[in-house]
Structure 1
Amino acid sequence: MAVEELKQKIEEKHLLVNSIKSEIGKVLVGQRDLIDGLLMGLFTKGHILIEGVPGLAKTSAVKALADTVQVDFKRIQFTPDLLPADLIGTEIYRPKTGDFSIKKGPIFHNIILADEINRAPSKVQSALLEAMQEQQVTIGETTFELSDPFLVMATQNPIEQEGTYPLPEAQVDRFMLKLIIDYPNKSEEKEIMKRVGFENVPVIKQIIDPAELDDIGSLITSIYMDEKLREYIVDLVFATRNPQDYHMDISDYIHFGASPRATIFLSLVARAYAFLQGRAYVTPQDVKTIAPDVLRHRIILTYEAEAEDITTEQIIGHIFDSVEVP
């Protein structure tokens, strides 16, 4: 696709993006980074993990986004007594006919909100893992393809809170982005106070359909990325595995570095971020802006790092400072 044609198409699709943001803004105050992260997940069909303390509108944000898309949406509340069958469905025996029939579970929707995902036991996490990675589920001896698009947007509370379990590393790696959200500022909280309970609940319009989502996805993959930027992305990921090769003395703090999925997702999300900025090309700053969301849940720290209160954010910052920017 020619550069001028690509620019024109990006401008056209930005009208849709602005409309989606406007609709979400009816129910959500602030949280621009969260909205951008959710949109990048939607446009690239990547699963998103959102972490924050209760009451920060994580659930409201995902539901508002889903309401703007002409697809099936389902919210699933994860609890300690949830069973895999509650998620994917089960076989039901019919005495009259002597055979089994399949009752499909809530996973058979386009956008799934897995609310408080880290409150469910490991068997449920394993059932969700197949759906996220293979876009299929198995009930009994039958395998079912999930619909397209299929997107898991999960919320979780910080693992220090009571009743939470850390997610398995293999599952966390399936999430394209991990978004960390914090408390609103004073003006935002004042606006929240004015709205909630004192205004009518707004109705969110459906703005975009699956065909338009596919068009935007194709546009994003067409966005130009220089070869030096590709090398920069690979260097960032390799620095999490072999920091000594980049003159960093942090090997004792990293148990496992980022997987190859980090390289794939960072390349894709950098393009999606450039699209949200209305550009047909990726800059080094795009990569630096989005990289923490791609890397933070893929770097597993050692006990020594935890003992010294060293966080993944500090490790990522050190890597940014040490890896040369093109």
Structure 2
Amino acid sequence: MPPITAPFPTARLRRTRGSAQLRALVRETALTVDDLIWPLFVRDGDGIEEEIPSMPGVYRRSVDRIVEAAREAADLGIPAVCLFPYTDPALKTEDCAEAWNPRNLSNRATRAIKAAVPDLAIMTDVALDPYNIHGHDGFVEDGVIVNDRTVEALVKMAVAQAEAGADIIGPSDMMDGRIGAIRAALEEGGFTGVTILSYAAKYASAFYGPFRDAVGASGALKGDKKSYQMDPANSDEALRLVARDLGEGADMVMVKPGMLYLDICRRVKSSFGVPTFAYQVSGEYSMIAGAAAQGWIDGDKAMLESLIAFKRAGCDGVLTYFAPAVARALAGR
């Protein structure tokens, strides 16, 4: 139904914009700390917190420092963190076996966080690229990223993460059939309460570069990921992928990247009405943080405006490296 507006001057649309109080009363979209998932990078060692040059203000942390960050998240009211490992290159192999090692970095960090901050939700990443000598999300055979063998490995990886205490499994690999296979394995293993947040519409984007620096995958990657990640020109395909993943047992779905794909977020939410998330990816974060560091933009205002855009597009939550800064801003700290 189109809006009904009286003619000017009976209707003066500026009236409700005239004061902070009126603007608050008619505001259509709200951003709260409950909307945030904070991605964290974990590395080996002890007492380490090293800034990532291409991501100002973002750090790789050893497990003990990851626990400190988890406590910070809980203190700020952030409901969830998402773990990504920076794997020792010596552990990257053709068979990617470190991916389902119960004592790998991600699983050790999960157990440590659960012991220290049991009420904080932990999301984990399911993809082989941190463990793959080729830097790909799946196994490479004769130059081809193979699907079904990769899915078998992803299942083992997801089960190991569930055993470590993960609350949310995040398959980010974009292989066909992996959601159904992971869901079946979780059910069979007794992990019936573990949630799957599927990277259902993940695009082959140029905005992942700083993330690949953060996890040490930039130098390892051979070729590109266009045979399994989505073509940025496609929109209808995203809906088919979301429908497939929901049909296979995903509880929530994600669009990645986020800021450049808000139209996809809106289409997904409007079409399916399911919990819909977006990832404000590393390149999107670094554009804002880098420009703010140069004094070219007001970083705090740009940060909040970017997060409001996700909510306005229909997202229920956002993975963002800004999470602690947003939480402090919303709390007036």
TM-score range, shorter chain: under 0.3
More helix by share: 1
TM-score, scaled to structure 2: 0.25
TM-score, scaled to structure 1: 0.26
Query: Higher relative contact order by CA 8 Å / sep ≥ 6: 1 or 2?
Result: 1
